[in-house]
Amino acid sequence: MRWLFLCAVLVFLLCCFVFWDIASKGFGVVSLEFLLTSPRKGMTEGGIFPAIVGTIYVSLVTAVFVIPFGVATAIYLSEYARDTWVTRLIRAAIRNLAGVPSIIYGLFGVAIFVDGLGMGPSLLASGLTLGLLTLPYVVAAGEEALRHVPGSYREGALALGATHWQSIRTVVLPVATPGIVTGVLLGLSRAAGETAPILFTGVAFYLRYVPSSVWDEFMALPYHLFILATQHHAIHQVRPLAYGTALVLLGFVFSLNLMAFWVRKKYSVYGQQ
């Protein structure tokens, strides 16, 4: 048993090391100026403001798409679908979607959104592509949250004459909401760090301005980091900027996770029944 414990400690230390490495090298770079200005002089100076805004925007587009579709699918699967081979097929398909490599989503996004639907490379196309990537997480988390709602609540509502939909809308969904929100936030935090799905669908190498509509291209933190770390003409010179960007991305993803944790703790009513 001791070596299992040592393994766990080792993994923990590795995580700490990665975080420490990025934090220590990036910390000196991150300043208000770094956060609030655009890159200058071929990205060798200045900040990452457009990339931060782009990541936030694309996450919002993703959320706007994935919340209604994901939650509706979860409600259908958990509350309405009878257990037939069709629903089992849908469930299996959704589960497999979660295992698809993200570059495949990128190609799919190009084929469907950028070319097929003529959106061109844009916030919208990227957001929708990331939405597809996030969908299985949201559906799974939604189903899980709905399944955890005690049957006694549903019976209580129905026994008072509520229709099935009324019982879902007024009793089941409110109880499941913290779990659903948690799933959405975790899904978004994964999407925010992805590069491949946005690579061909809308992310830009360098833009002086933040996007003004969903049809514009945008900069994003993970792609900006990729450029600074591997594609730049003066890689060594911009290394500190790369670490700063990494730290900001990490902070963004971290705060989404923290929010998910907080929502789960604060609003959880499971276990009270």
Partner 1 sequence: MILSLLISNKIEIQHLDLFYGAKQALKSVSLSIPEKSVVALIGPSGCGKSTLLRSINRMHDLDPKVRLDGEILLDGHNILHGNTNLNKLRRRVGMVFQKPNPFPKSIYDNVAYGLEVNGIHDKTRIRAAVEESIRESYLWDEVKNDLDKPALDLSGGQQQRLCIARAIAVEPEVILMDEPCSALDPISTAKIEALILRLKERFTIVIVTHNMQQAQRVADFTAFMYLGELIEFGRTSAIFEQPNQELTRNYVSGHFG
Contact between 175 and partner 1 by CB under 8 A: the answer reads yes
Closest distance of CB 144 from partner 1, Å: 18
CA distances from 261 to 61, 67, 160, 178, 185 (A): 22, 18, 35, 10, 9
- Residue entry with tokens 């830009």: 204
DSSP at 11? H
User: Which residue in the set 31, 163, 231, 237 belongs to the binding site for partner 1 (CB under 8 A)?
Assistant: 163
Contacting residue, 2, 41, 82, 208, with partner 1 by CB under 8 A = 82
Check residue 158 for interaction with partner 1 (CB under 8 A): yes
67 vs 59: CA distance, rounded Å: 12
Q: How far is the CB of 43 from partner 1 (least distance, A)?
A: 52
Closest listed residue to residue 273, CA positions, set 148, 150, 146: 150
Q: Does 37 bind partner 1 (CB under 8 A)?
A: no
> Other C-beta atoms within 10 Å of 184: how many?
24
Q: How far is the CB of 161 from partner 1 (least distance, A)?
A: 4
Residue 159 Cβ, how far from partner 1 at the closest point, in Å?
4
Candidate list 24, 31, 231, 273; residue touching partner 1; CB under 8 A: 273
Structure tokens at 220: 């994003």
The whole-angstrom separation of Cα 98 and Cα 93 is 9
- Residue in 108, 118, 113 with CA at minimum distance from that of residue 65: 113
Among 51, 75, 139, 171, indicate the residue that binds partner 1 (CB under 8 A). Answer: 171
Q: Kindly identify the residues of this chain, within the stretch 133-152, that bind partner 1 according to CB under 8 A.
A: 150, 152
Q: Name, in order, each residue with C-beta under 8 angstroms of 208's C-beta and a sequence gap of 6 or more.
A: 38, 50
Shortest approach of partner 1 to residue 48 CB, angstroms? 43
Q: What's the CA gap between 245 and 257, in Å, rounded? A: 18
How many of the chain's residues bind partner 1 (CB under 8 A)?
Answer: 22
Please, what is the minimum distance in Å from the beta carbon of residue 26 to partner 1?
43
Verify binding: residue 21, partner 1, rule CB under 8 A: no
Binding residues for partner 1, rule: CB under 8 A, are: 82, 150, 152-163, 166, 170-171, 174-175, 269, 272-273
